[in-house]
Amino acid sequence: MANGSASRIALSWPVDLNSLGDVLQRINELRLVGGRDAEAQTALVGDSKATQELRELIDRVAPSTASVLVQGESGTGKEVVAGEIHRQSGRRGEFVAVNCGAIPDDLLESELFGHEKGSFTGAATQRIGRFEQADRGTLILDERGDMPPAMQVKWLRGLQERVVERVGGVKSIPVDVRIIAATHRDLEQRIENGQFREDLFYRLNVVDIELLPLRDRAADIEPLVTEMLRRVRQKHRISVTFSSSAMGLLREYRWPGNARELGNVIERLAVLKPHGCIYIEDLHTEISGIDPTTIAAPTAMAAPGPLAMVDLPPDGVDLKAHIAGVERELIAEALGQSDGVVARAAKLLGLQRTTLVEKIKRYGL
């Protein structure tokens, strides 16, 4: 089922029904760990100089067996980089990712190294750990800067000798694992504070890859959006586009959550406005810089009496078209009063300049 021999599950015949549930659970765990969306893990998208240099570095690093330390802010794509290294490595085993910070300390040892039956309360069956699952493959340990000191010692042995011991076991099990460690922590500072072993740091830091935040890679944003929209179309069967002005704001935004935040924004907009074009006013206030209250207030104060005195025809009205028509007339009027100076017209209408430019294009003014 899996490429690595350590991931195979042996069944005796006839099948022991008492252990079948445990076997099925292990199969599901292996599928969730090793059966990740390969494309999602290896799509290194971007046109910036930093991303181009990163691709070149991965090309050189991937064929080796050297441990890699990937550092960067949360959401910068550390697991994507690890997946690309694994894809290009030619290793036949699985790509196994573990978020060490999300696993309680008392379970981390069993999670990474496995346990023998009866080794502790609740250990009803033998269980292989993530190191064995990744045999002949790649193991990425995310946020291993949060790993307790006792676990760091055992991990160091696994790195140095390429052997592991299950909890409650006495047998040393050889593993052929490529280790990639990822963190957003400052490990050198944690070493100074006595929170991380210096010898483990140097064992991991054979190749150091530092990922820049998205705010420093503006050239990557449009290719990332294009790729994310493609995935949205596949996932939700909807097609969304961005206006040039909206895309410009995406490039200018600081993205404190990096590519992960960008992906969330894209999916949210696609769900809320399927099969349409995203304009500036559709973007969240933090991105667009547009406060809806400041847009509405000038219109309400400046609206003359005749505009407010509208009689509803007996047959009804297409409200959306009517409002668009009124908006177009007001924009045209503001442009006329400002002699075509967009900045002055935007001030008359209580709009951001970029918002008005988008509306001018939409109405063909």
The model's pLDDT over 170-212, given as tens digits with 9 standing for 90+, comes to 899 999 999 999 988 888 888 888 888 898 888 888 999 999 9
CB-CB contact of 169 with 118 (8 Å): no
Residue 267 and residue 355 share a domain: no
Q: Supply the pLDDT for residue 161.
A: 85
Least confident of 33-47, 127-141, 231-245, 290-304: 290-304
Q: Are 301 and 361 found together in one domain?
A: yes
pLDDT of 10 > 90? The answer is no
Q: Containing domain of residue 117, as a range?
A: 5-212
Residue 350 and residue 327 share a domain: yes
User: Do you find a cis peptide bond into 14, omega within 30 degrees of 0?
Assistant: yes
pLDDT of residue 14: 58
**pLDDT band for position 43 (50/70/90)?**
low
Residues 267, 311: one domain? Answer: no
pLDDT at residue 347 in the model: 85
We report the CATH number of the domain holding residue 150 as 3.40.50.300
Alpha helices in the chain (DSSP H): 17-34, 38-42, 49-61, 78-89, 105-113, 130-133, 149-161, 187-192, 198-204, 221-236, 244-252, 258-272, 285-288, 292-302, 305-308, 319-337, 342-349, 353-363
Structure token digits, residue 348: 């008359």
> 144 with 38, same domain?
yes
> pLDDT digits over 103-138, tens only?
887 888 889 999 999 888 888 899 999 999 999 999
Q: Which of 110-119, 277-286, 311-320, 327-336 has the lowest mean pLDDT?
A: 311-320
Of the residues 263, 289, 315, the one at which a domain ends? 289
The answer to whether residues 280 and 307 belong to one domain is no
pLDDT surpassing 90 at residue 222: yes
Q: Which of 40-44, 151-155, 219-223, 353-357 has the highest mean predicted lDDT (pLDDT)?
A: 219-223
Q: If 0-12 CB within 10 Å is exposed, 13-18 middle and 19+ buried, where does residue 281 land?
A: middle
Task: Return the CATH number at 303.
Answer: 1.10.10.60
Last-in-domain residue among 289, 307, 338: 289
Does the pLDDT of residue 269 top 50, yes or no? yes
For residue 175, the surrounding DSSP H or E stretch is none
- H, E, C per residue of 56-79: HHHHHHCCCCCCEEEECCCCCCHH
Residue 260 has pLDDT above 60, yes or no: yes
- Non-local (6+) Cβ contacts of 286 within 8 A are 253
3-state SS, residue 171: coil
**Does pLDDT of 18 surpass 60?**
no
pLDDT in tens, 323-332: 777 788 788 8
Find the range with the poorest average confidence among 161-165, 179-183, 294-298, 332-336.
294-298
Instruction: Look at residue 37 and tell me whether its pLDDT is greater than 50.
Output: no
Mean pLDDT of 92-112: 87
Confidence at residue 23, expressed as pLDDT on a 0 to 100 scale:
55
Query: Considering only 20-29, 192-201, 227-236, which range has the smallest mean pLDDT?
Result: 20-29
Output the CA–CA distances (angstroms, integers) from residue 91 to 77, 148, 159, in the order listed: 21, 30, 17
Which distant-in-sequence residues (6+ apart) come within 8 Å of 341 by Cβ?
none
Residues 159 and 255 in one domain: no
Structural domains of the chain, count: 3
Place 16 in a pLDDT band, splitting at 50, 70 and 90.
low
Average pLDDT of the chain? 80
Helix, strand or coil for residue 14?
coil
Give the list of residues 6+ apart from residue 272 with CB closer than 8 angstroms, or none.
282
In this structure, the answer to whether residues 181 and 147 fall within a common structural domain is yes
Do 226 and 107 lie in one domain? The reply is no
Residues 166 and 281 in one domain: no
Least confident of 199-213, 227-241, 286-300: 286-300
268 or 301, which is more confident: 268
100 vs 221: which has the higher pLDDT: 221
How large a percentage of the chain has pLDDT more than 70? 79
Of 251, 273, 289, which one is at a domain's C-terminal end?
289
Residue 258 sits in a domain whose CATH number is: 1.10.8.60
C-beta separation of 159 from 204 below 8 A: yes
My answer on whether 225 and 262 are in the same domain is yes
Are 129 and 180 within one domain?
yes
pTM over 0.85: no
